[in-house]
Amino acid sequence: MRGLFITMEGGEGVGKSTNLTFLENFLRDNGVDVVCTREPGGTRIGEEIRKLLLQIRQEKVSAMTELLLIFAARAQHVSEFIEPALAMGQVVLCDRFTDATYAYQCGGRGVAWDTVEQLEELVQDKLRPDVTLLLDAPTSVGMSRARGRGELDRFEQEDLDFFERVRGSYLEQAKNDSGRYRLINASVSLDNVQQQLLEVGGELLSRWRERSSES
C-alpha cells in the first residue's frame, strides 16, 4: 500500500507548525503510521540549505539562486525521505512543499510560473500531494504572530505587499485545485482552528483505512 502525502501551507505565522503537530497526534492516536517533515529541510543536506536560504546576507540573493536552492533541497527530500516513506505505506505530513514555491517565488518574487512547473516535473516526476491544507489568515495576523518571536529571517524581512502577493497566490491555487485543497480559517482561536482540522483529520483517517483494507 502506498501511503498518503499531506502538505500544510500558508503565509508566515498562520500556525502551520503548531497545527501539523496537532494533526500528527490525532492521526497517531487513531493508529496511523505517520511521519512529519518540513521544507526547506527534512534531510541533513536540506537543513543546511535551509540555513543558507533563511540567513540574512549582505549581498542580494537572486530569485533564480533562491529557486534552485529550494529545489536542490527538495530533490534530496523527495529521494531520501518522502518517496521511501510513501513506499512503506506511511502518511507523510509535510510543513510546506511546492505550492510554497508557487506562492513565494512566483507570487512573491515574480518568477515565471512555467519555470517552477519545469523544475517540479524534473525533481518530483509524478509526486504531488494527495491533500493540501491551506491555513489562511489576513497577512497582518500571521505577521504579528510570527514577529512576536523576535529576530526576523531573510523572508520575514519582506514587506506587507510581498506577503499579500503570497497570500493571493495561495488562495488562487486553492481555487484552481479545490479537489486537493482544504481551506482552513486560521484567523480564529487555536481551538476553533483545531475543530476545523479534526474534520479534515477524519477524512484523512477514512482514506487511510480504505487504502489499508484494499491492500
Give the range of 28-36, 97-105, 173-181, 206-214 binding ligand Z5A by CB under 6 A. Answer: 97-105
How is residue 170 written as a grid cell?
Answer: 495561495
Interface with ligand Z5A (CB under 6 A), residue total 25
Residue 155 or 207 with smaller CB distance to ligand Z5A: 155
DSSP secondary structure of 108-119: IT---HHHHHHH
Residue 3 or 15 with smaller CB distance to ligand Z5A: 15
Alpha-carbon gap, residue 4 to 186, rounded angstroms: 24
Strand partners, 156: none
Encoded one letter per residue, x for contact with ligand Z5A by CB under 6 A and - for no contact, window 136-165 reads ---------xx--------xx---------
Give the range of 96-104, 119-127, 167-175, 204-212 binding ligand Z5A by CB under 6 A. Answer: 96-104
Q: What are the two backbone dihedrals, phi and then psi, of residue 14, each rounded to the nearest 5 degrees?
A: -75, -10
72: amino acid identity, one letter: A
Q: Which of 14, 34, 86, 111 binds ligand Z5A (CB under 6 A)?
A: 14
> Could you tell me the smallest distance in angstroms from the CB atom of residue 132 to ligand Z5A?
13
Encoded one letter per residue, x for contact with ligand Z5A by CB under 6 A and - for no contact, window 35-64 reads ----xx------------------------
The sheet carrying 91-95 orders its strands as 34-38, 91-95, 4-10, 131-136, 181-185
The verdict on 24 binding ligand Z5A (CB under 6 A) reads: no
Alpha-carbon gap, residue 75 to 86, rounded angstroms: 15
Alpha-carbon gap, residue 167 to 10, rounded angstroms: 7
